[in-house]
Amino acid sequence: MSRVDLRPAARPAPGASLPGPENIRRAVLSNGIVVLCRANFNSPSVVINGYVRLGSLQDPDEKLGLADFAVSALLRGTARRSFQQIYDALESSGASLSFSGGTHVSSFYGRALAEDLPLLLGLLVEALQQPVFPQEQVERLRAQILTGLAIRAQDTEEMASLTSDSLVYAGHPYQRPDEGYPETIQAITRDDLEAFHRRCCGPGGMMVSVVGAVDPSRAIEAINQALGDWSNPSQPEAIQLPPLKRLEVAARRHVPIPGKFQSDIVIGAAGPARHSPDFLAAALGNSVLGQFGMMGRLGEVVREQEGLAYQVQSSLGGGMGPGPWYISAGVAPQHVGAAVDLLLQEVRRFVREPVSMDELADSQANFLGRLPLSMESNGGVASSLLLLERYQLGLDYFQRYPGLINAVTVEQVQETARRYLDPERLAIVVAGPPPEAE
Closest CA to 365 of 286, 284, 289, 298: 284
The length of the chain is: 438
Nearest-10 Cα torsion for 17, 19, 25, 27: 180
Closest CA to 102 of 36, 173, 184: 173
Mind listing the pLDDT tens digit for each residue in 85-122?
999 999 999 999 999 999 999 999 999 999 999 999 99
pLDDT on residue 437: 44
The SS3 of residue 246 is coil
Q: Which domains does the chain have, with CATH numbers?
A: 25-227 (3.30.830.10), 251-437 (3.30.830.10)
CB 141 within 8 A of CB 301: no
Give the contacts of 22 (CB within 8 A, at least 6 positions apart): none
Sheet containing 45-52: order of strands: 25-28, 34-39, 207-212, 45-52, 106-113, 96-100
- Mean pLDDT within 149-170: 98
Instruction: Name the packing angle between helices 135-153 and 156-168 (round to 10°).
Output: 90
Sequence-ordered list of residues with C-beta below 8 angstroms from that of 277, at least 6 positions apart, any chain? none
pLDDT number for residue 293: 81
pLDDT at 267 over 70: yes
220 has pLDDT over 90: yes
The span from the CA of 37 to the CA of 28, in Å, is 12
pLDDT surpasses 50 at 15: no
For residues 185-202, give the mean pLDDT.
98
**pTM score:** 0.92
Cα dihedral value 382, 388, 391, 396, nearest 10:
170
